[in-house]
């Protein structure tokens, strides 16, 4: 029997009109908050000036925070962690077939983010794990001849990463390049004879199987984009000018667009762009399942740079499939374009949920100074088409809310996707403590960083190949093993991939 989606009210109060409006003010939904359809024609200039000055002052006043809820003395983190060692890392799946549109932003997640509805939490984590997979399966080893590729072929990807539990099958891999200066995430191997001198594995397309499709109420096509990790890369590499998309006044960051659109006939993997690769596969899958009379949705996810590419992908898809249900769920994503880009996505019906962490620097870039906050001063500045604007609703987390995370500034660790998933799993509301029945394994946070308190005794940076990928051969010599033939990147297989 299908579940009924109702706003979670931890105080057990009826959702009156007053409460409804109060909740709406608390949830950040930038399409509403920045007044896209604002028709207010202020006649009193002095009043307008006073409002602008007030807004300016508010930018520098710290809003009420979780300080009254962050006392650790109520927690014994070691006991909490040990109590979960023999418990499952996820709860039974609920049937959301009758309410999936609400979960995917049908009403811009109004009343579903603060407090966070458990069904929404589960779906956010699912797509977050799809995003995390683009890191876990990426060959970062600069001494590997396959550096920059995926470690596994698409049929083994979810099996190797323990993601078969979600009920999706990978149908195609995506490769990308850039015509501009290559930042660190595209650096190549130290070895001269490599699988590709131009391209990187950038993500994949997957689709829900029959059982999962029945549970979620439609055939869900997922596109997961890989991103960067180090916040320092953003300041140095992604401060470029806005560039027209070619449609109206919409403009986006030039570096993001280059990665999404670049191609070169002389390459093996980017004779077509990442944009063309992903859209070709989405078209194929949409046609296939709609011909069977099925309802189809497109959910695009990504972390960091991957979140930026997800928005460009959503813009592309909304133009090609104007009636398709399209959602973007991003983690730690930067700003991508100007106000016209934001407005076009909104008017085309793309639903976007940005998951951010207060202490994460990347969502503040590009446009640390010149961004959507200037819209509050439109009486003085007019509409600013040349500044960056975020898109969609925001679920804003606070790293201090988790008793398992170290205090202090760790700008690298706080940006990692596993930190995001940990905080989503424990988030209840902006005025509540970390939930004690959070399911995900806390140890995952330290996969690529050092964020967990020392009392837990979880080694930092523990996720790596055994012996750095070297194995002992029959003579006792340590060598780098050859990949299985099926795991060697093959442009021919990618061109002919199909479920």
Catalytic residue among 166, 303, 389, 415: 415
Catalytic residue among 189, 360, 389, 422: 360
State both tokens at 272. Answer: 């077509």
C-alpha distance across the termini of the chain, in Å: 30
Cis peptide before 277 (omega within 30 of 0): no
Q: Which residues contact 222 (CB under 8 A, 6 or more apart)?
A: 127, 130, 168, 205, 206, 207, 208, 299, 300, 301
For this structure, is 487 an active site residue?
Answer: no
Is residue 185 within 8 Å of residue 292, measured between CB atoms?
A: no
State both tokens at 321. Answer: 């499939």
Catalytic residue among 258, 304, 402, 430: 304
47 burial (CB, 10 Å; 0-12 / 13-18 / 19+) is exposed
Q: Give the CA angle between residues 423, 425, 367 to the nearest 5°.
A: 40
For this structure, is 327 an active site residue?
Answer: no
State the Cα–Cα distance between residues 464 and 468, nearest whole angstrom.
7
Residue 389's Cα: distance from chain center in Å? Answer: 17
Q: Which of 183, 232, 184 is nearest to 412 (CA)?
A: 232
Is residue 221 within 8 Å of residue 298, measured between CB atoms?
A: yes
Please state, in angstroms and as integers, the Cα–Cα distance from residue 143 to each residue in 76, 87, 135, 199, 470, following that order.
43, 39, 18, 17, 11
State the Cα–Cα distance between residues 242 and 447, nearest whole angstrom.
35
Is residue 304 within 8 Å of residue 334, measured between CB atoms?
A: yes
For this structure, is 20 an active site residue?
Answer: no
59 burial (CB, 10 Å; 0-12 / 13-18 / 19+) is exposed
* DSSP per residue, 440-489: S-GGGGGGSS--B-GGG-PPTT--S-GGGG-EE-TTS-EEPPPPPGGGS-
Q: Which residues contact 243 (CB under 8 A, 6 or more apart)?
A: 251, 252, 253, 254, 257
State the Cα–Cα distance between residues 372 and 34, nearest whole angstrom.
8
- Residues marked active site are found at 304, 360, 415
């Amino acid at each position: 029997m299908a579940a009924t989606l109702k706003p979670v009210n931890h105080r057990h109060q009826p959702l009156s009109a007053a409460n409804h409006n109060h909740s709406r003010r608390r949830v950040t939904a930038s399409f509403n908050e920045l007044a896209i359809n604002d028709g207010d024609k202020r006649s009193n200039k002095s009043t307008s000036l006073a409002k602008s000055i007030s807004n300016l002052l508010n930018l520098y006043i710290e809003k009420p925070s979780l300080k009254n809820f962050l006392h650790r003395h109520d927690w014994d983190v070691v006991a909490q962690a040990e109590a979960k060692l023999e418990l499952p890392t996820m709860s039974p799946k609920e049937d959301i077939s009758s309410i999936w549109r609400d979960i995917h932003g049908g009403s811009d997640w109004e009343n579903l983010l603060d407090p966070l509805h458990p069904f929404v939490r589960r779906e956010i984590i699912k797509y977050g794990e799809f995003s995390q997979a683009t890191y876990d399966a990426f060959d970062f080893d600069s001494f590997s001849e396959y550096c920059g590729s995926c470690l596994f072929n698409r049929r083994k990807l979810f099996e190797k990463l323990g993601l078969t539990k979600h009920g999706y099958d990978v149908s195609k891999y995506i490769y990308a390049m850039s015509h501009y200066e290559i930042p660190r995430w595209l650096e190549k191997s130290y070895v001269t004879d490599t699988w590709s001198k131009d391209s990187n594995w950038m993500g994949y397309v997957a689709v829900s199987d029959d059982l999962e499709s029945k549970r979620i109420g439609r055939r869900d096509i997922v596109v997961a984009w890989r991103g960067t990790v180090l916040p320092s890369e953003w300041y140095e590499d992604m401060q470029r000018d806005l560039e027209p998309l070619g449609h109206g006044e919409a403009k986006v960051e030039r570096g993001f667009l280059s990665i999404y659109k670049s191609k070169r006939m002389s390459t093996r993997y980017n004779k077509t762009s990442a944009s063309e690769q992903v859209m070709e596969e989405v078209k194929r899958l949409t046609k296939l399942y709609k011909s069977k009379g099925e309802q189809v949705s497109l959910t695009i996810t990504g972390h960091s740079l991957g979140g930026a590419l997800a928005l460009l992908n959503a813009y592309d898809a909304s133009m090609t499939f104007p009636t398709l249900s399209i959602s973007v769920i991003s983690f730690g994503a930067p700003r991508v374009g100007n106000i016209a880009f934001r407005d076009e996505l909104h008017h085309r019906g793309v639903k976007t949920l940005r998951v951010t962490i207060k202490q994460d620097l990347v969502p503040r870039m590009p446009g640390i100074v010149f961004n959507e906050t200037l819209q509050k001063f439109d009486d003085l500045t007019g509409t600013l088409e040349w500044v960056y604007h975020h898109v969609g609703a925001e679920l804003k987390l606070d790293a201090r809310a988790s008793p398992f995370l170290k205090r202090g500034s760790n700008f690298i660790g706080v940006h990692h996707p596993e930190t995001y998933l940990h905080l989503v799993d424990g988030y209840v509301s902006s005025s509540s403590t970390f939930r004690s029945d959070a399911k995900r394994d806390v140890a995952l946070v330290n996969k690529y960083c050092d964020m967990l308190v020392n009392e837990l005794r979880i080694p930092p940076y523990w996720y790596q190949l055994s012996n750095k990928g070297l194995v002992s051969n029959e003579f006792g010599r340590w060598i780098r093993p050859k990949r299985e033939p099926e795991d060697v990147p093959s442009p021919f297989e990618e061109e002919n991939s199909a479920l």
